[in-house]
A and B are shown apart, each in its own frame.
Chain A
Amino acid sequence: MILDSKIPAGPLAEKWTKHKFSSKLVNPANKRKYEVIVVGTGLAGASAAASLAELGYNVKAFCFQDSPRRAHSIAAQGGINAAKNYQNDGDSIYRLFYDTIKGGDYRAREGNVYRLAEVSVKIIDQCVAQGVPFAREYGGLLANRSFGGAQVSRTFYARGQTGQQLLLGAYSALSRQVANGKVKLFPRTEMMDLVVIDGQAKGIVTRNLITGAIETHAAHAVLLCTGGYGNVFFLSTNAMGSNVTAAWRAHKRGALFANPCFTQIHPTCIPVSGDHQSKLTLMSESLRNDGRVWVPATQEIAEKLRKGQIKANDIKEEDRDYFLERKYPSFGNLVPRDVASRNAKYVCDEGRGVNETGEAVFLDFRDAIKRDTRKIIEQKYGNLFDMYKQITGEDPYETPMMIYPAVHYTMGGLWVDYNLMTTVPGLYALGEANFSEHGANRLGASALMQGLADGYFVIPYTVGDYLAQLAPTKVDENHPEFARAKEEVEQGIEQLLKINGTKPVDYFHKRLGKIMWDKCGMARTEPGLKEAKAEIQALKKEFWSNVKVLGTNEELNQTLEKANRVADFLELGELMVDDALNRNESCGGHFREEYQTPDGEALRDDENYAYVAAWKYRGEGKEEELVKEELVFENVKLTQRSYK
């Protein structure tokens, strides 16, 4: 199998313009004859559904939440990047492109990333026109900030709730199309399978989460906008319901899954407090602009601290190790996410962690408060400090915050070409669900940008090109493939309900999460990954013989929902391990301990691994097949990242 990225030929800056012109158009009178299914209503899904409906297509939009407004894009805090250069500080489309390629450690396609930077400017225009209340300067123009260590101020924001405001903007556009009758909404409905007829995606099978009814929906194209798979780790900053089921079942129907091992671990999250922990809360990265990260200089002091014999404020200046400032004098506390996370892990592994579990480091505002006064710090971070206090019961103005890395974002996802089409014709993946623009590591404030770029400005062109090649006749829902897929879904559910074992679903999910976190998390080794693979296989067996799912299919059954999702996470986890084992290099979020420079930095192998690892499903119990897409760099020179 050969993967064709379909990147148009020609100069980087002209590719997208040329491609839009060469894409086929659907006659305006014919658009109403095409049906498009959109699964997921986050930034990518809501913007795609609204934009396609505005063009005249008939859209069916699905989400598992009770309202499309609750998709997890809503939780994004920091902001959205755009190459507007409103600040006159040297930003440009090319610079955003370059920063994104470099930040992704050279594991993304030039063509895709350039297009993303190009359309970024239009996203801000669109959102403002919808009434998104971005932060403004006193002159009435839009405010920007520098984010995640970027050298220019290109991040637009709406307090600490940028994701919420952008999503509500897209949701309002979607709601308008619902009112116009062009979008039919299916809330509390989960996609259970993809229907493929003669090699093309023609519909989906869904479960109504209230009644349990298994239904089929036919369409000319299916868009998966279903987010990332960070919940494979059980604990992550994702919402409780975030899952891989739609993407995974499409994978089993022929869509290749790319770079599954590329996961982003965010350095500033509130540490785990006990076994009951259900999710981890992110504290905005902006805190690292003023907070100083440290741990005690010695194990002995850390030990006393953990036992409660001393308090953080008792530790003398010379007994504190500001390890990021020490190791990276020029970037200090603002090193990229992967570097900050890994170093926190190292000092905790050395026994210098600071909370009861030994898995936390301090983020200290003492010096910032001394320098700028408490009032200034309150203005900047007041809401975050309050949130921290609410969750931990400690006051960060008085005692240093404790933070630890947590799984935040998954760069991997369904393989897509330049048109965002997967390897199944007619099946598209948008936003975090696809693998494409962030390479091995995503920059801060770029997830919102990508979700909206895909939905507002890419898919309306590329899906049209595909639909124009199909006859505008109704997809036959009586085709036997629909009945067959539906029956398989029903059997799968029946099997889960029949097991009637002894352990609840979370018991398995937590164990899977621990394997993934310990052995396929911030630092990975070949022996560790091999152990992980065997452990996951054993756990999967145990799950299918001992999970306890009560109730029936024909009712609201949250345990059954979870069981379905965890069954897929168990399979995905194994593939992530395979992918991490295959990639004998360190890059971005993927750090293999065997491959590091003498001073402990990630060591890429561009000669052998400058490719996208796409995996092809070959059937139950069989090893997946690796298909490579070589990455071609015509415009940027590959360099080693250095933040010293």
Chain B
Amino acid sequence: MKLTLKIWRQKNAADKGGFVTYVAEHVSKDMSFLEMLDVLNDQLTEKGEDPVHFDHDCREGICGMCSLYINGKPHGPLQTTTCQLHMRSFSDGETITIEPWRAKAFPVVKDLVVNRSAFDRIIQAGGYVSVNTGGVPDANEIPIPKTVADLAMDAAQCIGCGACVAACKNASAMLFTSAKVSQLALLPQGQVERKTRAEKMVAQMDAEGFGACTNTGACEAECPKGISITNIARMNREYFSAVVSSENM
């Protein structure tokens, strides 16, 4: 296949950036999208041009490090991570536009690389059960109905890639935040800090500059792990019941 690539290039956070057009030849349908970029980068290097920088690591769809808008869609045309997208999803002669995530809370670092540390700070605000190592009860002393454990697992599958934010016209982080709030609100282990957690995580989310949720469902549609927006509804309930009887001192 022969493809035309319009790729966002930006030297650093201060640079204005812009699209540069490249031609990728001899692209095989079996290549993953990132392998196609690897090949382009080797060609650029041999020509003495700075390779395109992008985030990636596990390349098996679980670490959440890869990102990219591909033709305007987070992680491209399929509901998967960019690393799992293969070139057979494209056709010969196609033009592909590649951009970094666009959100105020995810500033561009270079080219296609953005800073997603805001997600870490949301978790630091309360995305945990406060137990120290040791001194915990035997694992089977906390029976949990299978249906509840399964629902918690559905929410816990979030990989923190940020596609939900990228997909949202308001760059809201509600799906990400609600996935963690839901997981812990569903489980008995999370009950003690249930109220403070919801309040603190929502407050941090707002402080980071993420937008509000307007229930368009774009996040769910683009989430590579199929995290459901019912988690957002659950978080809203958690949050409102928490603020009316706040335990945050």
Contact = CB atoms under 8 A, between A and B. Distances in A.
Interface of A: 47, 50-51, 54, 65-70, 72, 74-75, 84, 86, 122, 124-131, 133-142, 158-159, 161, 164-165, 168, 171-173, 175-176, 178-179, 185, 187, 210, 237, 239-241, 273-274, 276-279, 281-282, 387, 390-393, 456-457, 460, 502-504, 506-507, 548, 550-551, 555-556, 558-559
A175 B190 CA distance: 16
Given A66-B116, A131-B187, A550 B50 contact: yes
Contacts of B124: 175-176, 178-179
Nearest to A156: B139
Given A273-B30, A276-B31, A555-B110, A70 B129 contact: no
B249 interface: no
Given A86-B140, A276-B38, A504-B45, A140 B60 contact: no
B117 A66 contact: yes
B127 A126 contact: no
A277 B139 contact: no
B46 A504 contact: yes
Given A65-B63, A129-B131, A131-B183, A140 B145 contact: yes
Contacts of B228: none
Q: Could you say which of B116, B142, B156 has the most chain A C-beta atoms within 10 Å of its C-beta?
A: B156
Q: Chain B interface mostly helix, strand, loop or mixed?
A: loop
B84 A75 contact: no
B156 A133 contact: yes
B174 to A, nearest CB: 19
Interface in B19-53: 28-32, 34-36, 38-39, 41-42, 45-46, 48-51, 53
Given A179-B124, A504-B42, A75 B183 contact: no
Nearest to A143: B146
B86 A274 contact: no
B133 A460 contact: yes
A171 B123 contact: yes
Contact of A51 (B29, B133, B153): B133
Interface string B118-147: 011001110111111110111110111110
B59 A279 contact: yes
A393 B88 contact: yes
Contacts of A503: 46
Contacts of A559: 45, 51
Closest 6 CB pairs of A and B: A140-B143, A172-B128, A129-B136, A133-B153, A128-B139, A273-B30
29 contacts: A67-B120, A69-B123, A72-B57, A74-B62, A74-B63, A86-B140, A122-B134, A125-B139, A126-B134, A126-B136, A129-B131, A131-B128, A131-B187, A134-B139, A159-B157, A165-B153, A168-B156, A175-B123, A176-B128, A237-B60, A239-B58, A239-B63, A240-B57, A273-B30, A274-B31, A278-B38, A278-B59, A555-B110, A556-B53
Interface string B162-174: 0000000000000
B235 interface: no
Contacts of B62: 74-75, 161, 164
Contacts of B32: 278, 391
A274 B30 contact: yes
B95 to A, nearest CB: 21
Given A50-B133, A131-B187, 7 more contacts: A75-B62, A140-B144, A161-B157, A165-B156, A175-B120, A393-B30, A550-B49
A506 B46 contact: no
B189 interface: yes
Contacts of B60: 75, 237, 279, 281-282
A514 B222 CA distance: 38
B80 interface: yes
Interface string B76-106: 0010100010101000000000000000000
Contacts of A47: 133
Contacts of A273: 28, 30
A266 to B, nearest CB: 13
B219 interface: no
B153 A69 contact: no
B57 to A, nearest CB: 4
B86 A393 contact: yes
B40 to A, nearest CB: 11
Given A70-B64, A131-B187, A504-B42, A179 B125 contact: yes
Contact of B64 (A69, A127, A161): A69
B160 interface: yes
A198 B120 CA distance: 38
Nearest to A50: B133
B38 to A, nearest CB: 6
Given A66-B117, A72-B58, A125-B139, A136 B35 contact: no
Contacts of A240: 56-59
Contacts of A187: 117, 120
A406 B41 CA distance: 25
Given A75-B60, A125-B137, A133-B152, A278 B128 contact: no
Contacts of B142: 128-129
Contacts of A126: 131, 133-134, 136
B74 interface: no
A67 B123 CA distance: 11
Given A178-B124, A555-B110, A134 B117 contact: no
A161 B61 CA distance: 11
B12 interface: yes
Contacts of B109: 210, 556
A381 B224 CA distance: 19
